[in-house]
């Protein structure tokens, strides 16, 4: 599928109707999501024919994008049932299969080496400190091929250090720096949009 | 939830040692066709826990869909019929309502609208 086509299909995804503050619920927009998975497939071959897990899948954007890029099996995991039900509806509307699991990512226990690639836009840990690292730690445990993740640029050195030292990553590479518009979903956001610098990472476990 | 997902999930309650496989209670399920991809199936075969897959297929009453003993991977390369059964079991059955029961503690994780709920209670983490 062409990049433009994926981006436009992702634009049809219904997003959080009542985002929950403490879970850092905001979507990855179609522009970033389509490029993230397009790069994962076209530069690294990490999606087509693979089992892909979307951690903190929300309404399913990254998992659905993986299915468009030829993933043979997609699993979306989130704590929030409401989002999972929306994700299920989105997958059905866009005619892709995504298996959904309601689970706290940090308590996920999976056996075997079934999952090839993990894709995620984890909570940055602004509400609950360290949740980005918890996601990353579990991703390293289950992925056998690659982990794609978005993290605040301000944490770049820390992430690199932890990935290589504590998670014994074979490689930890920033693919690009993005501007991420976190829309004004919450009352405490004064500006209409909070624009933050975010890195797209690729890790090899 | 499909059976490939079931095959990789185990009970995540703290302290549980024999939390695999979760016993599948299927109350309602649907079957839906998925494109057949022999390469994917052969690649995933060695990663599958065969007895768990056979057991989960049984919970739908599919007693003869798969052989009890894991087939040799060379058989999977030559036996198209077997590969198609494997494909069907793994990818085409969707559990809509039911539950997953931990073999050690008996704790039941419900499945509603196709989504298993593996959230833990406070005293289980
Ligand atoms: C920044 S949003 C990303 C949503 C979606 N992946 C996307 O890219 O549009 C983070 C998601 O993680 C979920 N989440 C937060 N904490 C979680 C946890 N401990 N386990 C699982 N999911 C969690 C939230 O419900 C939310 O859907």
Q: Residue A140: its pLDDT value, please? A: 97
Instruction: Kindly give the distance from the C-alpha atom of residue B51 to the centroid of ligand 1, in angstroms, as a whole number.
Output: 33
CATH class of A3-204: alpha beta
Considering Cα of A182, then A41, then B47, then B7, what sign does the dihedral take? positive
Q: Residue B93: its pLDDT value, please? A: 96
The residues of chain B scoring below 50 in pLDDT are: none
Contacts of A75 (CB under 8 A, 6+ apart): A51, A52, A53, A54, A63, A98, A99, A100, A101, A115, B5
- Domain residue ranges of chain A, discontinuous segments joined by +: 3-204
DSSP conformational letter for A119: E
Chain A with chain B: Cβ pairs closer than 8 A: 79
- Mean pLDDT confidence for A120-146: 91
Which residues sit opposite A197 in a β-bridge?
A179
* Of A201, A143, A204, A137, the residue nearest A169 (C-alpha): A204
Q: Taking 60 as the threshold, does the pLDDT of residue A186 lie above it?
A: no
Instruction: Kindly give the distance from the C-alpha atom of residue A158 to the centroid of ligand 1, in angstroms, as a whole number.
Output: 21
pLDDT band for position A11 (cuts 50, 70, 90): very high
pTM (two decimals): 0.96
Mutual orientation of helices A61-68 and A3-10 as an angle, nearest 10°? 150
Tokens of A176: 């690009």
Q: All domains of chain B, ordered by start, with CATH?
A: 3-119 (2.20.25.10)
Q: Whose CA is nearest to atom 2 of ligand 1?
A: A25
DSSP conformational letter for A27: P
Would the CB atoms of B115 and A110 count as touching at under 8 Å? Answer: no
Percentage of residues in chain A with pLDDT exceeding 90? 81
- ipTM over 0.85 threshold: yes
A27 lines ligand 1 (CB under 6 A): yes
Nearest CA in chain A to B118: A103
CB B102 within 8 A of CB B79: no
Cα–Cα distance measured from residue A31 to residue B6, given in angstroms and rounded to the nearest whole number: 33
Residue B97 belongs to what H/E stretch?
strand B93-101
Ligand 1 atom nearest residue A104's Cα: 20
Instruction: Kindly give the distance from the C-alpha atom of residue B78 to the centroid of ligand 1, in angstroms, as a whole number.
Output: 43
């Amino acid at each position: 599928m062409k990049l433009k086509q994926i981006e436009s299909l992702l634009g049809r995804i219904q997003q959080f109707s009542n985002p929950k503050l403490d879970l850092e619920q905001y979507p990855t927009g179609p522009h970033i999501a389509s490029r993230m998975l397009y790069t994962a497939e076209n530069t690294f071959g990490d999606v087509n024919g693979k089992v892909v897990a979307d951690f903190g899948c929300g309404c399913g954007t990254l998992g659905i994008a993986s299915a468009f890029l030829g993933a043979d099996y997609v699993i979306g995991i989130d704590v929030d049932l409401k989002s999972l039900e929306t994700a299920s509806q989105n997958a059905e509307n866009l005619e892709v299969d995504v298996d959904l699991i309601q689970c706290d990512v940090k308590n996920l226990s999976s056996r075997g080496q079934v999952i090839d690639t993990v894709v995620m836009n984890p909570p940055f840990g602004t509400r609950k400190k360290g949740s980005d690292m918890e996601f990353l730690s579990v991703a390293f445990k289950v992925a056998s091929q690659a982990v794609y993740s978005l993290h605040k640029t301000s944490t770049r050195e820390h992430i690199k250090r932890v990935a290589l030292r504590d998670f014994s990553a074979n490689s930890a590479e920033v693919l690009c720096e993005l501007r991420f518009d976190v829309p004004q979903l919450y009352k405490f956001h004064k500006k209409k949009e909070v624009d933050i610098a975010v890195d797209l990472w690729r890790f090899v476990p | 939830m499909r059976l490939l997902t079931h095959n990789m999930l185990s009970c995540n309650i703290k302290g549980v040692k024999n939390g695999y496989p979760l016993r599948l209670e299927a109350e309602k399920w649907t079957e839906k066709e998925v494109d057949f991809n022999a390469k994917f199936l052969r690649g995933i075969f060695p990663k599958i826990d065969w007895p768990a897959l056979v057991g989960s297929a049984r919970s739908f009453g599919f007693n003869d869909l798969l052989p009890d003993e894991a087939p040799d991977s060379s058989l999977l390369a030559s036996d198209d019929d077997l590969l198609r059964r494997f494909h069907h079991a793994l990818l085409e059955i969707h559990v809509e309502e039911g539950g997953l029961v931990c073999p050690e503690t008996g704790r039941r994780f419900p499945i509603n609208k196709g989504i298993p709920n593996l959230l833990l209670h406070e005293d289980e983490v």
